[in-house]
């Protein structure tokens, strides 16, 4: 059986001729037979009304009609889809509404964009989103604009004008060739955000259900399966194992971990917990899952307290530091979980930082272990078996005191050679700095190197999977390679650079459609962007930034608050504005690393801290799913902290890397 995901069947699917021939009652009966929900009288009447309206509007047309077509990634159903005259028409009826509100327009726009981006049969089609407030009395005037990718801007049509609107559209020859035959059977390949994926997995969908069926998704499926095998083998053989999964930025490492954790979150023996030291990621995911669960309970007629729902969610996903503190509080007790997944495990603290924290914050003197060593020791308390899954991002260490993956290998080498170790075949690469450690453990006979444990394709950008390769070339000072890479995806994933912040924001807002999320980001060391009203010292709440709607000034949509690498790592936006300050300057073919102290810039000389700064920009430049604008200020010769030389060479270098200037 093919494993290619397809759009689920609509509750009603007819060629237009048959739709016009059959009675309204017969058509309604077919919808009701396929409905998976109990249907209220109000909904039945709404369907009857829509059927009657379309019977009048579609006379003389050829094509197909679909009622209640499910869009899996969004988790909603399109009222009606019509394939006719070489176009896809998406109709959303708002019963009882007389005024087209922004949320309704965004809803029908999102439907069109989802089909355009993720449904193979819709890639080459013109898609027309149409909103129909049933109480609207304004007659249809004219069609809207067609975007470059073939998605029309949504327009609003009164019930009485639907036929007129379709007729007017038919007079405009499509600019794209669209084959209607087999449309409903075409592959559906969604690429969810990490928040969307967590929501779906927590609702007990499988990882296969929510992913595209291409190389990246297959890679995730293979890796997830191999991790599951390690868990099963460890349990059956009463063995303790640690598994290291690597991947390029946006490849789906967190998704692999969430998939494992959700599959076993309710099992007593296989109970798993997802742990991350990334506080913003944990808070965003916990809040998103809590809001979803509250909505589901409300739909069932229940009214649970939010605090109780959030408590149950936190049993499944936790901050790794809370897990650590519990291990300190009960030093002889094994954790409840036999399987723990550590996301971004390269960010675990080294011995110095852990000991210092325990002394200052916990009052524990002489704490003699790095965070990786202590976390393994907690799981080692199990008498039978245990599995640790470490999700490792290459080039993602962004803070002082982060041990990198080396801290884990040193702990295994020094104390836990009775554990079986499974590593990706990429672990010896330059981004992980673990080649010598891998060789030493291999000599001990406890290490297995496996290519199934590496995720090689970025899933973050469904438009251009090799953006991370371009970013790496930019940061490695390889402009020729960067220029070659960007030429491969420039039309699918636009990147621009500008000296004008207002223009950059305008560009982003013009690109974003529907509920596509925009956001402003900057390095935590970008201290001299304040003249441009960008102050990274302001504490951005990631929950508001990533989850709140476009009418909330705290949300990313407003492009006012700049999130830093610490707030955005592991999360993503559709369109990103990267603000580039004088902390990282390109100069004579090399990077100059700087930090602002007091009233002047100071050179960063320590190699480790230079790496953190470079990785901060790596994180910022790989947050966008669909495209980004890079803002490099002009500088000001009257301000010794913002001299033009701090910015001009960087701007010119990015242009040499092939980034178009606006």
The radius of gyration of the chain from alpha carbons, rounded to an integer in Å, stands at 27
Does residue 562 carry a pLDDT above 60?
Answer: yes
- Note the pLDDT tens digit of each residue in 317-347: 888 888 888 888 888 899 988 999 998 888 7
407 in a structural domain? no
- Note the pLDDT tens digit of each residue in 165-217: 898 888 888 888 888 888 988 888 777 788 888 887 887 665 555 554 454 55
Share of the chain above pLDDT 70, in %: 90
Rounded average pLDDT over 478-491: 94
pLDDT of residue 37: 63
451 in a structural domain? no
Chain length of the chain: 662
pTM above 0.85, yes or no: no
* Higher-pLDDT residue of 531, 120: 531
Residues 154 and 203 in one domain: no
Asked if 596 contacts 602 with a C-beta cutoff of 8 angstroms, the reply is yes
Residues 157 and 232 in one domain: no
- Note the pLDDT tens digit of each residue in 100-113: 888 999 999 999 99
Among residues 393, 385, 120, the alpha carbon closest in space to that of 232 is found at: 385
Residues 211 and 73 in one domain: no
Q: Which of 394, 422, 448 is the last residue of a domain?
A: 394
pLDDT of residue 221: 83
pLDDT of residue 6: 60
Rounded average pLDDT over 421-438: 78
- Structure tokens that stand for 524 in this block: 């935590």
Distance, in Å, from the CA atom of 448 to the CA atom of 268, rounded to the nearest integer, reads 29
pLDDT of residue 297: 87
Share of the chain above pLDDT 90, in %: 53
Determine how many CB atoms are found less than 10 A away from the CB of residue 216.
25
Residues 110 and 161 in one domain: yes
Distance, in Å, from the CA atom of 573 to the CA atom of 619, rounded to the nearest integer, reads 12
Q: Which of 341, 361, 394 is the last residue of a domain?
A: 394
The DSSP element (H or E) to which 323 belongs, if any, is helix 320-329
Q: Which structural domain, as residue segments, surrounds residue 368?
A: 194-394
The order of strands in the sheet holding 590-597 is 584-587, 590-597, 600-603
Number of domains in the chain: 3
Does residue 592 carry a pLDDT above 70?
Answer: yes
- Note the pLDDT tens digit of each residue in 441-463: 888 778 889 989 998 776 666 66
Distance, in Å, from the CA atom of 87 to the CA atom of 128, rounded to the nearest integer, reads 7
378 in a structural domain? yes
135 in a structural domain? yes
Residues 359 and 250 in one domain: yes
Residue 197: partners with Cβ closer than 8 Å, 6 or more residues away: 207, 210, 255, 258
Residues 171 and 293 in one domain: no
Reduced 3-state DSSP string for 402-461: ECCCHHHHHHHHHHCCCCEEEEECCCCCCCCCCHHHHHHHHHHCCEEEEHHHEECCCCCC
Residues 201 and 173 in one domain: no
Residues 221 and 322 in one domain: yes
pLDDT of residue 361: 78
Does residue 637 carry a pLDDT above 90?
Answer: yes
Tell me the pLDDT band of 466, cut-offs 50, 70 and 90: confident
Q: Which of 378, 394, 410 is the last residue of a domain?
A: 394
412 in a structural domain? no
Rounded average pLDDT over 150-175: 90
Residues 134 and 213 in one domain: no
Listed in order, strand segments (DSSP E) in 17-174 are 63-71, 76-84, 87-94, 126-133, 155-156
211 in a structural domain? yes
- Note the pLDDT tens digit of each residue in 384-405: 999 999 998 765 556 666 667 8
pLDDT of residue 283: 94
Q: What is the CATH number of the domain that holds 506?
A: 3.40.50
Angle at 376 between CA 370 and CA 379, to 5 degrees: 145
226 in a structural domain? yes
Distance, in Å, from the CA atom of 344 to the CA atom of 346, rounded to the nearest integer, reads 5
Does residue 18 carry a pLDDT above 70?
Answer: yes
Distance, in Å, from the CA atom of 571 to the CA atom of 611, rounded to the nearest integer, reads 21
Residues 644 and 541 in one domain: yes
Tell me the pLDDT band of 1, cut-offs 50, 70 and 90: very low
Among residues 287, 99, 87, 72, the alpha carbon closest in space to that of 169 is found at: 87
Rounded average pLDDT over 634-642: 95
- Note the pLDDT tens digit of each residue in 241-274: 999 998 876 778 888 888 888 876 555 566 788 9
3-class DSSP state of 392: strand
Range scoring the smallest mean pLDDT among 34-48, 327-341, 369-383, 551-565: 34-48
414 in a structural domain? no
Distance, in Å, from the CA atom of 377 to the CA atom of 375, rounded to the nearest integer, reads 5
pLDDT of residue 209: 57
- Note the pLDDT tens digit of each residue in 507-550: 999 999 999 999 999 999 999 999 999 999 998 999 999 999 99
**Each residue of 366-383: b (16+ CB within 10 Å) or e?**
ebebbbbbbbbebbbeee
pLDDT of residue 462: 67
Asked if 87 contacts 127 with a C-beta cutoff of 8 angstroms, the reply is yes
Q: Give the chain's mean pLDDT.
A: 88
Residues 210 and 164 in one domain: no
Residues 539 and 492 in one domain: yes
């Amino acid at each position: 059986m093919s494993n290619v995901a397809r759009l689920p069947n609509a509750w009603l699917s007819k060629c237009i001729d048959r739709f016009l021939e059959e009675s309204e009652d017969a058509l309604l009966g077919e919808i009701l037979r396929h409905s998976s929900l109990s249907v209220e009288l109000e909904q039945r009447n709404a369907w009857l009304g829509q059927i009657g309206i379309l019977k009048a509007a579609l006379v003389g047309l050829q094509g197909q009609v679909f009622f209640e077509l499910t869009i899996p990634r969004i988790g909603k159903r399109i009222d009606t889809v019509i394939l006719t005259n070489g176009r896809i028409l998406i109709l959303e009826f708002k019963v009882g509404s007389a005024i087209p509100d922004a949320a309704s327009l965004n809803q029908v726009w999102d439907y069109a964009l989802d089909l355009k981006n993720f449904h193979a049969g819709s890639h080459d089609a013109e898609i027309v989103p149409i909103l129909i407030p049933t109480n609207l009395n304004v007659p249809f005037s004219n069609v809207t604009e067609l975007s470059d990718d073939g998605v029309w801007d949504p327009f609003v049509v009164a019930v009485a004008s639907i036929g007129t609107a379709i007729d007017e559209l038919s007079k405009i020859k499509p600019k794209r060739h669209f084959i209607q035959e087999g449309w409903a059977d075409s592959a559906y390949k969604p690429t969810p955000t990490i928040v969307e994926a967590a929501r779906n997995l927590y609702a007990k969908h499988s990882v296969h259900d929510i992913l595209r069926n291409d190389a990246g998704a297959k890679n995730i499926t293979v890796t997830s399966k191999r991790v599951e095998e390690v868990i099963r083998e460890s349990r059956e053989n009463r063995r303790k194992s640690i598994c290291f999964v690597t991947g390029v930025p946006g490849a789906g490492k967190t998704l692999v971990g969430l998939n494992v954790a959700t599959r076993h979150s309710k099992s007593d023996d296989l109970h798993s917990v997802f742990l991350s030291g990334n506080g913003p990621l944990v808070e965003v995911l916990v809040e998103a899952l809590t809001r979803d669960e509250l909505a589901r309970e409300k739909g069932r007629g229940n009214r649970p307290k939010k605090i109780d729902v959030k408590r149950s969610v936190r049993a499944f996903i936790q901050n790794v530091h809370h897990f650590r503190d519990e291990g300190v509080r009960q030093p002889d007790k094994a954790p409840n979980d036999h399987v723990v997944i550590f996301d971004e495990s390269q960010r675990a603290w080294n011995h110095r930082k852990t000991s210092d924290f325990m002394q200052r914050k916990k009052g524990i003197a002489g704490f003699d272990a790095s965070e990786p060593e202590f976390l393994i020791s907690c799981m080692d308390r199990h008498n039978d078996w245990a599995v640790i899954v470490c999700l490792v991002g290459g080039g993602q260490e962004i803070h002082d005191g982060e041990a990198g993956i080396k801290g884990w290998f040193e702990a295994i080498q020094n104390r836990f050679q009775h554990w079986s170790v499974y590593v990706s075949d990429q672990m010896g690469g330059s981004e992980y700095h673990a080649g010598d450690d891998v060789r030493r453990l291999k000599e001990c006979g406890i290490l297995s190197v496996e290519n199934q444990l590496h995720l090689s394709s970025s899933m973050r950008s469904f438009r251009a999977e090799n953006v991370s390769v371009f970013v790496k070339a930019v940061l490695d000072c390889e402009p020729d390679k960067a220029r070659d890479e960007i030429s491969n995806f420039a039309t699918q994933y636009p990147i621009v650079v500008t000296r004008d912040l207002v223009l950059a924001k305008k560009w982003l807002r013009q690109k974003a459609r529907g509920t596509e999320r925009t956001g402003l980001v900057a390095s935590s060391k970008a201290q001299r962007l304040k003249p441009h009203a960008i102050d990274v010292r302001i504490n951005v709440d990631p929950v508001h930034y990533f989850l709140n709607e476009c009418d909330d000034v705290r949300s990313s949509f407003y492009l006012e608050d700049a999130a830093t690498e610490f707030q955005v790592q592991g999360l993503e936006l559709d369109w990103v504005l990267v603000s580039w300050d004088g902390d990282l300057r390109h100069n004579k073919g090399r990077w100059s690393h700087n930090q602002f102290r007091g009233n002047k810039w100071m050179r960063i000389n320590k190699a480790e801290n230079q790496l953190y700064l470079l990785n901060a920009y790596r994180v910022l430049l790989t947050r966008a799913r669909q495209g980004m604008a890079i803002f490099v200020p002009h500088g000001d010769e009257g301000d010794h902290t913002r001299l033009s030389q701090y910015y001009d060479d960087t701007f010119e270098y990015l242009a040499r890397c092939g980034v178009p200037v606006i």
